Amino acid sequence: MFRTKRTGLVRRLWRSRAPVEGDGDADTRTHGSGGCCMGKSTKVAGKTSAGTDAELKSLTHSILKQIKEKQLEGLLQAVESKGGARSPCLLLPSKVDTKLGQQSYSLPLLLYKVFRWPDLMDCSELKRLSCCESYGEINPELVCCNPHHMSRLCELDSPDSGPSSTETGGTTYSAPVGLSDPQALQESGDRSHWCVVAYWEEKTRVGRLYSVQEPSLDIFYDLPQGNGFCLGQLSSDNKSPLAQMVRTKIGYGIQLSREPDGVWVYNRSCYPIFIKSATLDNPDSRTLLVHKVFPGFSIKAFDFEKADSLQRPNDHEFTQQPRTGFTVQISFVKGWGQCYTRQFISSCPCWLEVIFNNQ
């Protein structure tokens, strides 16, 4: 039977849809279903609660067949690479509703559910990535529906609540192995950057400092998984089996982006990352929590205004360690803190130190 190119693209897209929990192929590490950054349980809708699989397939096919071939190719590139390949925006009408079973979904929400997060209930749970054409747009007629131009939004617990299951224990303000602000500025050789990034393996820094001037930066392990800081290109003498194992799991890594409200970290990899930042927690606390961020989630890792308020002239801790409030630490795959055998980040096999320019 004669098959058009469009039909072939639609079928490939359907085969690449995100697996629903219970299908046997669902991988919560990659798709984030069944959990969120702060450990709140989320219910994954069963196949009968919002229409059958056959109804979903029919609806998805009918929508995709109305999209231009070039747009389908871009969507397929995004879906098959799981966001690893740079893909164009998929601009579609924002106010078109679709009905599945007894529930109505906006067109963007339906595509996000089908191709990335089957448990997604509302677009308010998402954050648009800064690389997207629709970023910062308010109520546009056309909105990007590329599911890999979105991320799940991490919601922090209130300061008065106890640590959740993904706040992996407190660490004190004691200075870790790392760089001082003057050293970072001197090595970068440039004061126009907004941050510098250092890559560490346990207590040893690997390679040069990476000075960041562009609004966003991909930090990844192997080419061609991004444009930016390629950790795999750095020369490491570390023969530790654990470090070698973690290196293979960094994959697409993270995206670091400076935005109007602060600096966001998006986990592009297939494994959790762990973040400690002075601006993520209660400013009156004597300990900083280590936050676990699942694949596909974004967290506002740093707030410049909040960091300025931490620079208290009578605070001995910040007087002695002025860079503490302007540094974020990120570990790949392995966490640290009271809930782990690794008490300090310098025991983690592969980690980053991001030092912000407060000049």
- For residues 299-324, average pLDDT: 68
Q: Is the peptide bond before 108 cis (omega within 30 degrees of 0)?
A: no
Instruction: Tell me: pLDDT of 192 over 60.
Output: yes
What stretch of H or E contains 352? strand 351-356
- For residues 340-351, average pLDDT: 95
Tell me, what's the pLDDT at 36? 42
Buried b (16+ CB within 10 A) or exposed e, 202-219: beeebeebbbbeeebbbb
Task: List the one residue out of 233, 236, 271 whose CA is nearest residue 252.
Answer: 271
Secondary-structure percent of the chain, ordered helix, strand, coil, rounded to 5: 25, 25, 45
Tell me, what's the pLDDT at 44? 39
Do residues 100 and 51 make contact, with C-beta atoms less than 8 angstroms apart?
yes
- For residues 284-295, average pLDDT: 86
CA distances from 84 to 47, 262, 269, 312 (A): 29, 24, 9, 42
Instruction: Tell me: pLDDT of 98 over 50.
Output: yes
- How do residues 54-94 score in pLDDT, each as one tens digit? 999 999 999 999 999 999 999 999 999 999 888 999 999 98
* E-only strand ranges, 21-90: none
Tell me, what's the pLDDT at 161? 39
CA distance 222 to 252: 8
Instruction: Tell me: pLDDT of 210 over 50.
Output: yes
Directed axis angle between helix 69-80 and helix 5-15, to 10°? 30
Could you give phi then psi for residue 187, rounded to 5 degrees? -70, -35
CA distance 37 to 289: 14
Do residues 264 and 299 make contact, with C-beta atoms less than 8 angstroms apart?
yes
Do residues 200 and 177 make contact, with C-beta atoms less than 8 angstroms apart?
yes
Bridge partners, 199 (sequence order): 206, 352
DSSP 81-129: TTT-S-----EEETT-EEEETTEEEEHHHHHHHHHT-TT---GGGEEE-
**More confident of the two residues 338 and 292:** 292
Mean pLDDT for the chain overall: 82
pLDDT tier, 27 (very low <50, low <70, confident <90, very high otherwise): very low
| Spacing of C-alpha 241 from chain mean position | 26
Instruction: Tell me: pLDDT of 321 over 70.
Output: no
Tell me, what's the pLDDT at 195? 96
Tell me, what's the pLDDT at 178? 62
* E-only strand ranges, 202-347: 204-212, 216-220, 228-230, 254-259, 262-267, 273-277, 287-293, 297-302, 327-332
Tell me, what's the pLDDT at 136? 86
Q: Which residue has the tokens 């320019």?
A: 357
% of the chain beyond a pLDDT of 70: 75
Tell me, what's the pLDDT at 79? 97
DSSP 173-189: S---S---HHHHHHHHT
- For residues 300-327, average pLDDT: 69
Tell me, what's the pLDDT at 152? 97
pLDDT tier, 184 (very low <50, low <70, confident <90, very high otherwise): low
% of the chain beyond a pLDDT of 90: 58
Tell me, what's the pLDDT at 70? 96
Tell me, what's the pLDDT at 16? 96
CB proximity list for 299: less than 8 A, separation 6 or greater: 37, 154, 156, 264, 265, 275, 280, 291, 293
Instruction: Tell me: pLDDT of 196 over 60.
Output: yes
pLDDT tier, 20 (very low <50, low <70, confident <90, very high otherwise): confident
